[in-house]
Amino acid sequence: ENGGFPAAPVTVLQALQTLDYDVLVELSTLSIEKRGEPAIAHVRAALECGHHVVTANKGPAAFAYRELAALARKNGVRFLFESAVMDGAPVFSLKQALAGCRVTSISGILNTTTNFVISRLELGANMDSAIKTAQELGFAEADPSLDLEGWDAAAKIAILANVFLDADIDPLQVERRGIGDLAAEDASGVMAAGRRLKLICRAELENGKVRAQVGLEEVQMDHYFAAVSGKGAALRLETDMMGPLWIIQEEPGLSDTAAGVLQDLITVAAER
């Protein structure tokens, strides 16, 4: 137990509750099985003690956004997670910029691993080969199941729905179909017919409730989504007052994620 190291003098939660610090930077990985824990507990502890939180982990905002955002407001601190969706692209900072508008629907290609794999399948590669290439290039996980089964995308659209549509959903409530059973002949066949397969995330208001889904869709070649290849990502927001707004991202990497964390830290520092 404990990897052969001496027992820590305090637990993580005890440290968060007793140490003197300004900002918790939480960079652990998403756990669907544990419903965002232990990251949620870490974030909650910091906020309860009046500390700012910056996180790149999707779990807290995907599973507990409403609670944690309210706790941050109550204690006069910030709960920021710009890197949780589309790495460091300015996604959530748009909420303030759109203060005069109401977002009515969201759609996007939000998982770069599946987008890359589909692009390889279109060229005739098989699933195993496409995944191995993505791993060798350094952006696919050793266990890519969260990506291939659509869980990563479900977490991201849940966060977007919670922030922009005032939803209170989590990834388990997102209708989801991944790409695990997609074959090369399916992808190449759709492309030969003048369309492209994409794993599309969507969230919109239906009869006063937010419906979110992740699934494979065929898109026409003249659609913006069709132009998003390889590791690219795209987000489309529709509002009640403006035309659709797009964020297109090409070849994001770890530096993009780091940039998002840095943006959030600068936001915190600017308000001190």
Catalytically active residues are 156
> What is the DSSP pairing of strand 175-176 with strand 23-26?
unpaired
> Residue 174 — φ and ψ, nearest 5°?
-85, 130
101 burial type by CB count under 10 A (0-12 exposed, 13-18 middle, 19+ buried): middle
C-alpha 18/C-alpha 12 separation (Å) is 10
Whether omega before 38 lies within 30 degrees of 0, making that bond cis, reads yes
Residue 202 makes CB contacts below 8 A (sequence gap 6+) with 105, 106, 107, 157, 212, 213, 214
In this structure, the number of other CB atoms found within 10 A of the CB of residue 18 comes to 9
